[in-house]
Amino acid sequence: MKKFIPAALFFISASVFSQTKGKVISIKDGDTVVVLLAGNTHQTLRLAEVDCPENSQAFGNNAKSFTGSQVFGKTVTFYSVGKDRYGRSVAGVFYDNGKYLSREIVRAGFGWWYFKASKNTELQKLQDEAREKRLGLWADRQPVSPWDFRKGKNKKKTPTVKSKNKSSESAQ
């Protein structure tokens, strides 16, 4: 009998991904955790399908606290689905008898459905419901998505050079 990943994670069978268990020993931010594996090795996991506010962003600490309240110190099952540009494993993380962490974060209003890398429209519905109820970051009148925040933060600021007044140039 084939085992299936809950519908929340890409609707594909678990045989495609490797299933691993580990104890969550650190919460880096709302969508990044560190797990302790067998043999005392650790692995950093970037949560699949969700993007949380950065730690330095409004609601970043709230997202980190929420994630910690859900999984810190617990043994979780995760399915690695790839690597991100920083070499971290992108993974679907499950805990407490099948709860999908990314789903719980979006439902509570502490992260955005990362539609650029997910086709899981259930997460969009949960995000819309959280927004309607003004949960978590949706209490902000104009929440800024993490990708827009990073884009703005990473923009190189060019010094403003005052242009000379043309009339003063011609007078010289």
Is pLDDT of 149 > 70? yes
Concatenating the DSSP letter of every residue in 45-63 gives: EEETTEEPPPTTSTTHHHH
Cα gap 24→37, rounded to integer Å: 9
Instruction: Find out whether 102 and 50 touch, Cβ atoms under 8 Å.
Output: yes
70: which residues sit within 8 A by CB, 6+ positions away? 95, 99, 101, 104, 105
Q: 14-56, pLDDT tens digit by residue?
A: 445 678 999 999 999 999 999 999 999 999 999 999 999 999 9
Is pLDDT of 140 > 60? yes
pTM of the full predicted structure? 0.80
Give the per-residue pLDDT at 117: 86
Cα gap 51→111, rounded to integer Å: 5
Instruction: Find out whether 94 and 47 touch, Cβ atoms under 8 Å.
Output: no
Average pLDDT, the chain: 84
Give the per-residue pLDDT at 116: 85
* Cα angle value 48/49/50 (rounded, 5°): 95
Is pLDDT of 93 > 50? yes
Give the per-residue pLDDT at 9: 43
Give the per-residue pLDDT at 155: 56
pLDDT band at residue 12, thresholds of 50, 70 and 90? Answer: very low
Q: Report, as an integer, the average pLDDT of 64-87.
A: 95
Is pLDDT of 164 > 80? no
Structure tokens that stand for 7 in this block: 């519908």
Residues carrying an active site annotation: 46, 54, 88
Domains recognised in the chain with CATH numbers: 14-140 (2.40.50.90)
Cα gap 131→134, rounded to integer Å: 5
